[in-house]
Structure 1
């Protein structure tokens, strides 16, 4: 099994204190095999085991957990950036972050908050972008009778310019929000994706 950040941290602290696995097992009053399995990432210490190891390593359980969570800021940053998949196709901006969110759900600090904010915004954005496409296509096919002053630029009427500009502006806003929030996650600051309909709470 893959070694986890928590197992690496426990091993690092043990080595820093100059303890062997056997000595850590004795100090923490745990079985040697348990210590070996924890350090190899074969099991994740919880409850009493985590408390005993923390005491033996002169740290608190929260110190160990907080250290692990800080290491996962990189994943939260990646989770934000994954929403840029909307540039290839709008629905990918929901599907890719959703897959990553489900993969690490309940395993990383702040992933629930971050994941839901990203998904709420991307779902809202998709609805808006598809609505703008429908209006654009509808205006072309059905020639909606909208009374707009006859202004033209580069051969386009005002209505056409608006219909072309709206999707471009929406794409720009989405891209900027994703990049800003990826940076916020990297710095450990809560993400802000607004406006968005709170589909997921």
Structure 2
């Protein structure tokens, strides 16, 4: 539950009006109204005053904020996981469309997008090389191995990212990988 809605719920349970709460906290009634409507995020000091006026523990509001951040992080990880799964096929359009839709809404989307594109180029290169081997030697094994490795890395990355872990990008040095996550 959002902090503003929680404050409103607690205020109503106490039988207080917005004016009553404003008087107890030395805030304006308009400020209380804006907090309850979610128009502003109150500072910690303001939340402490409201908690004291409502006779509740301040940590009730802090835990609520942390839960919202966890939900947002899970949402980001889910979108990043979908981006990595879009790398299963050596087609760039699904990844490009997903990146374009979420680039300003999902944290670190550009780093993951680069990793997915790198993996797709790698899969495409191995596939074309495998097809050349098939054409020359009539052996399809390199082509199939290339596709299988690409698919496994994409699935592995998607699972890791959805669980909040680091992903594999073979084209980035190990020092840079630690900076990315």
TM-score normalized with structure 2 length: 0.69
CA 1:193 to 1:96, structure 2 compared with 1: closer, same or farther past 3 Å? farther
Q: Which residue of 2 aligns with 1:131?
A: 122
Q: 1:65 aligns with which of 62, 71, 80?
A: 62
Residues 18 and 29 of structure 2 are in contact (CA less than 8 Å); yes or no, is this contact kept in structure 1?
yes
Aligned pair 1:27/2:27, yes or no?
no
Q: Which residue of 1 aligns with 2:144?
A: 161
Q: CA deviation at 1:62?
A: 4.5
Q: Count the aligned residue pairs.
A: 165
Q: Which has the higher helix share?
A: 2
Aligned pair 1:194/2:177, yes or no?
no
Aligned mates of 1:69, 1:95 — CA distance in 2: 28
What runs of 5+ residues in structure 1 fail to find an aligned partner? 102-114, 145-149, 182-190
Residues 7 and 41 of structure 1 are in contact (CA less than 8 Å); yes or no, is this contact kept in structure 2?
yes
Residues 79 and 97 of structure 1 are in contact (CA less than 8 Å); yes or no, is this contact kept in structure 2?
no
Write the deviation string for residues 153-191 of structure 1: whole angstroms up to 9, x where unpaired: xx8532222123222223332343355x2xxxxxxxxx2
Residues 54 and 61 of structure 1 are in contact (CA less than 8 Å); yes or no, is this contact kept in structure 2?
yes
Aligned pair 1:46/2:46, yes or no?
no
Aligned mates of 2:130, 2:104 — CA distance in 1: 36
Aligned mates of 2:157, 2:34 — CA distance in 1: 44
Residues 93 and 122 of structure 1 are in contact (CA less than 8 Å); yes or no, is this contact kept in structure 2?
no
Residues 7 and 39 of structure 1 are in contact (CA less than 8 Å); yes or no, is this contact kept in structure 2?
yes
What runs of 5+ residues in structure 2 fail to find an aligned partner? 87-92
Q: Which has the higher contact order (CA 8 A, sep 6+)?
A: 1
The alignment's C-alpha RMSD in Å is 3.4
Q: Which residue of 1 aligns with 2:90?
A: none
Q: CA deviation at 1:138?
A: 4.2
Residues 97 and 119 of structure 1 are in contact (CA less than 8 Å); yes or no, is this contact kept in structure 2?
no
